[in-house]
């Protein structure tokens, strides 16, 4: 059982971070406001979790302007996709081991 726990990535322990990774795994990219609404998070809370995932290089950021308004979009990186898939596979193995 200890081996399974070691396979879980600490970066995905938070509900918000897990949600960010799940959303970005299913979508090519998503802007800040859409993520905030989808995850029911505050600006500060979401920004903190996005920075943590960006620091791990699990997500990338693209800043553009739509007209005169700034638009920040996030996407999952190859490193992030692999780490998240490994995390999910570990969870799946842990669940299967309990049956």
Whichever domain contains 80, its CATH number is: 1.10.10.10
Total domains, the chain = 1
Q: Which two tokens stand for residue 58?
A: 């699990």
- pLDDT at 3 (0 to 100): 62
Q: Which two tokens stand for residue 30?
A: 């998503």
User: Per-residue pLDDT tens for 32-89?
Assistant: 999 999 999 999 999 999 999 999 999 999 999 989 999 999 999 999 999 999 999 9
Q: 56 φ, ψ to 5°?
A: -75, -5
Structure tokens at 83: 């780490």
Instruction: Please give, one letter per residue, the 3-state secondary structure of 33-83.
Output: HHHHHHHCCCHHHHHHHHHHHHHCCCEEEEEEEECCEEEEEEEECHHHHHH
pLDDT of residue 7: 74
Phi and psi of 28, rounded to 5°?
Answer: -60, -45
**pLDDT at position 6 over 80:** no
Domain of residue 18, residue span: 2-97
Helix (H, G, I), strand (E, B) or coil at 7: coil
Quote the pLDDT of residue 22: 96
Q: How confident is the model at residue 2 (pLDDT cuts 50, 70, 90)?
A: low
């Amino acid at each position: 059982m200890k081996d399974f726990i070691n396979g879980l990535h600490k970066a995905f322990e938070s509900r918000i971070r897990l949600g960010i990774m799940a959303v970005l795994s299913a979508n090519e990219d998503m802007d800040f406001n859409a993520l905030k609404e989808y995850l029911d998070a505050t600006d500060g809370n979401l920004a903190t979790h996005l920075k943590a995932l960006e620091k791990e290089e699990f997500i990338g950021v693209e800043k553009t302007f739509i007209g005169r308004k700034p638009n920040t979009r996030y996407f999952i990186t190859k490193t992030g996709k692999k780490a998240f898939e490994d995390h999910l596979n570990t969870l799946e193995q842990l669940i299967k081991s309990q049956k």
